[in-house]
Structure 1
Amino acid sequence: KNIKILSTSHEPKYISPENYPQRTIYFETEVKGEEIFTVEYTYENHVKYTKFDPNIISEEQPNFYTEERLPHIRFTPFLVQLADKIVGNETNPLLKARKIYDYITQNVKYSYMPQYATIINVPEYCAYNLKGDCGVQALLFITLCRIVGIPARWQSGLYVNPQYIGCHDWAEFYIEPYGWIFADPSFGGGALRNKNEERWNFYFGNLDPFRMVANSDVNYEFLPSKKHFRQDFCDNQVGEIEYNDRFLESQEYETILEIIEAQEI
């Protein structure tokens, strides 16, 4: 709530609409020597904790966000077979989602990844190799949920607490009568490996308040769109830069994330 831009280093040429799935602020200028682009903003994060009851799940569930979204949310024969094996005879959608969450958190190890652009199918890579970073695990969860008819979608941005800021990806899934609820397989798996079952259970359905959400869909175009190669075609967390005639590789510029102030409301 209450997202406000406090200051910018340059006059923005365009700010994408509030409901745009990968929202950005866009600068355009003639660069002469070293140039620094900054935006300072503030926001409020409100998170409600929900304790779930499988016995009140509605028999009528929606079918939005249950389709494939290529190239990565793809219902390959291997993933369809895996989803069927994980879910088994379970029919309750909340419990089906929990079985998928348990499978990923119990079997997939966290691992740093090459750029997603180098992987043909991210969820299948994760399922075959049983390793992946936060985004890889989130995409596997989303794909498996959609295969078994559970609406699921991408969410990502920054993990921001008073001492730390960094990029992070997670997932949302939809269960009536609760609506959209969260799943963070990466944080949940880390909690389980540290023998913290309370945190493991928490990250199925709930989320901590230390999030800055920048993206609500995956593989979505910028607005305005880039002319050249996207460094991260899945989403956008730290911005991208290009010249008129070419894109800039990540090693050609420095990205700085800074927490100015964090307080409890």
Structure 2
Amino acid sequence: MTQRTWFITGISSGFGREMAIQLLSRGDRVFGTVRQSGAADDLSEAHGDALRIATLDVTDVAAIHRVVAEAFASFGRIDVIVNNAGYGLFGAVEGLDGEQIRHQIDTNLVGPIEVTRAALPFLRRQGGGRILALSTYGGQATHPGASLYHASKWGLEGFFDALYGEVAPLGIGVTIVEPGGARTAFRATAGARMGGEPEAYKDTPVGMIRSILHDPTRIPNGDPSKMVARMIDSVDRTPAPKRLVLGSDAYAMIAKALRERLADVEAQEKEASATDFPAAR
């Protein structure tokens, strides 16, 4: 097993914390970020110099570039960049305010773009590396009541899908990770961050998302430990898998969305061609 050094945003909870634990337990090194100082002190105490932590809010672009440079300076080389930090903003778009909207996009989309921009010069100079971007099946499929969350993740997928081909000639691999529901604190956190609930949406599919997020009987199938293990294993695959689907629900939702989208496109083949200039004779 090859020892690697990883840069991971958001190691205080969820997938980020589980990934740090698995990597450190097998002898890899981790430079992790947390939003609140002290949020991962227990990991530092357990793993010593193999783990280095910086406080970072991924909406702070200047801080991102400073911390990424610090990470490469600390360890000399970073093999894998993991864009993990993020959260879900749910509710009717009419119930969200401008600050909530900007914070969702800045955290889930602009943050990973800036982390990647900051890391790419280092990865190029060292001759390669791997980038993982944590998306969701909601990066390809949608639910009413999650419009801003989907906007951030569809944007994320567009960026990293294009980046895949952009940096492959430089020896840098890119993988978009698309988990389904997992037994982390994601739903509880999302439920606490929801926007207002306009009365008009109360009995619509949008209104149902509030009860779903607060229903303790709705337990996700996804095992975070197994999902993270698959993410880690993907780094050994060459070429890098462009997408990594995790969970039976993720597979079902993505497959259904793609089939429906393709059917919609194929039904318009003649109409689409009708807008061309006539073929040259």
The answer, yes or no, to whether TM exceeds 0.5 is no
Q: Name whichever structure is richer in helix by fraction.
A: 2
TM interval, shorter chain, is under 0.3
Give the TM-score, by structure 2 length: 0.23
Whose radius of gyration is greater, 1 or 2? Answer: 2
Give the TM-score, by structure 1 length: 0.24
